[in-house]
């Protein structure tokens, strides 16, 4: 199971990198592109920041008329660990493979609204479907699944769960998730 998970993660990262390379080849420089480059040149990234970030281009509509379609790039700097954390959460929401005997930890309708890392805490913002009455064992499995999956990332030590950008006391009614919690905290936060 762990190999399947790692293979999925590697595949997703490879696809993402390939798309970035392909899109970078479709370069059409214009004023918006030059302005974005100027902004990036003024932004000084340290070597450690460069190692932890991905610089990629996203393309937007720059058409001035309906007759002539034009797209121009805007460069973005994305933190690798946040991207990886978001992918991990999407995989947790997607659930285990169909030929697995494992059970999902989220309802299928759950959506990841946002994901960020700040001061070694992963902030997970989920849709309201993630919050429902659970048995204590099911909720413990859910919380452990989240924490153990995300703390594989070096910069994440704890997790904070939000629902629709709001702090919540409980996810399933049995554990207090109002504060960030780590691997060793789950038994301590039981209600």
As a whole number of angstroms, the distance between CA 138 and CA 156 comes to 23
Least reliable range by pLDDT among 2-16, 89-103, 136-150: 2-16
pLDDT for the residue 191: 83
Q: Please, what's the largest Cα pairwise distance for the chain?
A: 63
Say yes or no to pLDDT of 17 above 90: no
Are 159 and 150 spatial neighbours (Cβ–Cβ below 8 Å)?
A: yes
- Who's near 153: CB < 8 A, 6+ residues apart? 81, 84, 85, 88, 117, 122
Q: Is 48 exposed, middle or buried (0-12, 13-18, 19+ CB in 10 A)?
A: exposed
pLDDT for the residue 61: 94
Task: Find the mean pLDDT for residues 77-94.
Answer: 95
Alpha-carbon torsion 120, 143, 130, 90, what sign?
positive
Q: For the segment 133-148, what is each residue's pLDDT rounded down to a tens digit?
A: 999 999 999 999 999 9
Q: For residue 132, give the nearest of 163, 178, 166 by alpha carbon.
A: 163
As a whole number of angstroms, the distance between CA 54 and CA 47 comes to 13
């Amino acid at each position: 199971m762990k190999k399947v998970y790692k293979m999925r993660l590697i595949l997703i990262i490879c696809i993402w990198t390939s798309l970035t390379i392909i899109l970078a080849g479709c370069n059409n420089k214009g004023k918006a592109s030059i302005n974005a480059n100027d902004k990036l040149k003024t932004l000084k990234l340290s070597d450690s920041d460069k190692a932890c970030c991905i610089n990629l281009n996203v393309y937007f509509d720059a058409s001035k008329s309906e007759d002539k379609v034009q797209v121009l790039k805007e460069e973005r700097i994305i933190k690798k660990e946040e991207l990886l954390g978001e992918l991990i959460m999407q995989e947790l929401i997607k659930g285990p493979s169909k030929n697995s005997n494992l059970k999902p930890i989220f309802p299928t309708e759950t959506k990841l609204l946002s994901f960020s890392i700040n001061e070694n805490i992963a902030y997970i913002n989920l849709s309201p479907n993630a919050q429902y009455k659970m048995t204590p064992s099911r909720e413990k499995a859910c919380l452990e699944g989240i924490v153990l999956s995300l703390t594989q990332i070096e910069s994440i030590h704890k997790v904070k769960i939000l629902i629709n950008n709001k702090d919540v006391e409980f996810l399933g009614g049995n554990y207090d998730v109002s504060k960030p919690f780590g691997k060793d905290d789950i038994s301590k936060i039981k209600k």
